[in-house]
Amino acid sequence: MATQEGKDPGIVTTVRLNQNRPLPSRLLQFCLMFLVLGLGISIVSINMIRFFGVRTGGPAARSNIIFPCFEESDSIEKWIRPPSNLMHKMNDTELFWRASFVPGINQYPIKRVPKIAFMFLTKGPLPLAPLWERFFKGHEGLYSIYVHSLPSYVADLTRFSVFYKRQIPSQVAEWGMMSMCDAERRLLANALLDISNEWFILLSESCIPLHNFGIIYRYISKSRYSFMGVFDDPGPYGRGRYNWNMQPEVMLEQWRKGSQWFEVDRKLAVSVIEDSTYYPKFKDFCRPGCYVDEHYFPTMLSIQFPHVLANRSVTWTDWSRGGAHPATFGNSDITAEFFKRMFEGQSCLYNNQPDNVCFLFARKFAPSALEPLLDLSPKVLGF
């Protein structure tokens, strides 16, 4: 190779040889250690993410899907605590399915205080609410309240009222139609969501209690029977309403009639909301002049559970004036003598023994009856 500008060829050869020499072994060891360390850190980081998740500085986005039944629970209280908000978003199918859950073990793992669920089937406001407020006072923990009103009704109550936020999701209920029984089943299902509710009483906005809370609680809780009016009426307003399409689920001799206003225990309440055998028959073949709210529950329960029914209602009504509806009592009717006549002459069986306390509630009372009722209740009603 020719040299340029007097450069020594030996120097050029030396430089080229130095460029082809391998890297020192110490440098290779350092690079290898760095590679192993990086790989180890990566493996540790992956495992930490897998077991502990990644936490970022900002709040994590939450899913809009809610799984209340499968939410992880770390204590039994979360499973038994009653709903804090009665205005849930379940439809009837979802509600009845959820409310039909029954523990397979009869003994509760907690100290359970059984309560009475007072279920008010109304059109709107409760004009006799001040009387009921007085009745419930001092007995917290022994009762629950549920109100089924027209969907358009918005209650104007203070947070100090026992009826505050006790409305349930509702639908229009028409007298004599299956929608009335749907409303009653809806009340039962919502009340069943509270595992402490053991007894369920259906009332209207025109009902009043005839005794103090203690007497009513003992009467219901000590009874071996549920109180539903059930009887066989051979006339045109009983068997005369029977439709032969009811067979074979309901035979003519099984057809029963009874009062709409009932009291049932938890077992019967579950059987009412889970029924899919008798409901379609009554919905399709008991239409006016067959009034389904007078026949569906009495017939179904008398077929399934005849030995646990008292076959009488504990709600007093006056049918002496005739007509399709019982008498309504207003301001001028409410006297001590009025209640004396009501209480006198009562005779019934209570736990198979004769008794003179047969009615715990009464109807129908107009809004104008409130003031005299409040005046008389300490002396006459005991509260």
Q: State what percent of residues in the chain have pLDDT above 90.
A: 72
Q: Which two tokens stand for residue 294?
A: 């007078």
Q: What is the pLDDT of residues 147-193, one digit of tens each?
A: 999 999 999 999 999 999 999 999 999 988 999 999 999 999 999 99
Distances (CA, A) of 10 to 2, 3, 18, 22: 12, 10, 13, 21
Nearest-angstrom CA–CA distance, 276 and 272 = 9
Mean pLDDT on 221-239: 97
Q: Which two tokens stand for residue 357?
A: 């306390």
Q: Is the pTM above the cut of 0.75?
A: yes
Mean pLDDT on 278-301: 96
Terminal alpha carbon distance of the chain: 126
Nearest-angstrom CA–CA distance, 143 and 161 = 14
Sequence-ordered alpha helix ranges (H) in the chain = 9-19, 25-52, 77-80, 92-99, 129-136, 178-192, 213-222, 266-273, 279-285, 296-304, 336-343, 370-376
Contacting residues for 260 by C-beta, under 8 A, at least 6 apart: 180, 184, 202, 293, 294
Specify the pLDDT at position 322. 79
Q: Does 73 have pLDDT greater than 80?
A: no
Asked if 134 contacts 376 with a C-beta cutoff of 8 angstroms, the reply is no
Scored b (16 or more CB within 10 A) or e, 95-131 reads bbebbeeeeeeeeeeeeeeebbbbbbbbeebbbbbeb
Q: What is the pLDDT of residues 34-65, one digit of tens each?
A: 676 777 676 666 665 555 444 444 444 444 44
Distances (CA, A) of 366 to 82, 126, 313, 328, 343: 33, 11, 21, 6, 20
Asked if 176 contacts 293 with a C-beta cutoff of 8 angstroms, the reply is yes
Helix (H, G, I), strand (E, B) or coil at 190: helix
Specify the pLDDT at position 63. 44
Strand pairing of 361-362 and 315-316?
parallel
Sole residue written with tokens 């035979």: 251
Nearest-angstrom CA–CA distance, 296 and 187 = 16
